[in-house]
Structure 1
Amino acid sequence: METIKQQQQLILLQLQRIQSSGADCAEVPNLSDLGFPVSSLEHLARVEGRIAAQSDLKNKLITFFGLSGGMTTKETVWRVLAKALANDVAKKIKWQAGF
């Protein structure tokens, strides 16, 4: 029972943050024309090109991926990446930072 109570408190805090940020919860952007998850590196390059060309698309993507949620950073990252990239594409990307 205590765990459920804690989860409800976390959900309430998240909703309050969304409300205070002024985000519109009722409108989930329709990005079906982008074809997520990205299925090839060429497809990824096309999506990146569209983001660069359309300034409003960036904000739509932030909302789209921001709704993925997760209780931890790791869980959130996994959910966003699962929405964004097909496994075959993710395997081809170099994930190590080049310092």
Structure 2
Amino acid sequence: MRILQSTHRPRPDVHDGAKFRDRLPVKDVESLQCLEAELKMSPDSKSELITYLGLVGGFDLKDTVWRVLKATFTTAVARGMNWRGR
């Protein structure tokens, strides 16, 4: 939470990520690609997603990363990804 607060200042006109509640976790690769395209085109959407995922929280860095990943991808989508960057 401290990292989010120090690096990101949410704008007053940006909500708490409500538009992402129905879309996350992404259920297929096509949804992920649509989300990625939207984030590239809209800084407001990007800011809102940062706020939404920043509020997921965690006890330490590892726990926070696991919670953010769980909030972002379904297990089926995550299994289909290459997590080693190859």
Q: Same fold (TM over 0.5)?
A: yes
Quote the residue 2:48 is aligned against.
60
Q: Using the TM superposition, give the Cα deviation of residue 65 of structure 1 relative to its aligned residue in structure 2, in angstroms.
A: 0.3
Structure number with greater CO (CA < 8 Å, separation at least 6) is 2
CA RMSD of aligned residues (A): 2.5
Quote the residue 1:5 is aligned against.
none
Over the matched positions of the two proteins, sequence identity in percent amounts to 30
Quote the residue 1:83 is aligned against.
71
Do 1:36 and 1:85's aligned partners in 2 also have CA atoms closer than 8 Å? yes
Select 1:70's aligned residue among 22, 39, 58: 58
CA distance in 1, matches of 2:45, 2:70: 19
Task: Map 1:10-21 to 2 at 5 A.
Answer: 18=5
Do 2:10 and 2:47's aligned partners in 1 also have CA atoms closer than 8 Å? no
Q: What amino acid maps onto 1:40 in structure 2?
A: D
| More helix as a share of residues | 1
Query: SS of the counterpart of 1:39?
Result: coil
- CA 1:90–1:28 in 2, change beyond 3 Å: closer, same or farther? same
Quote the residue 1:43 is aligned against.
31
TM-score normalised per structure 1: 0.69
CA distance in 2, matches of 1:79, 1:42: 22
Number of equivalent positions: 81
CA distance in 1, matches of 2:10, 2:30: 32
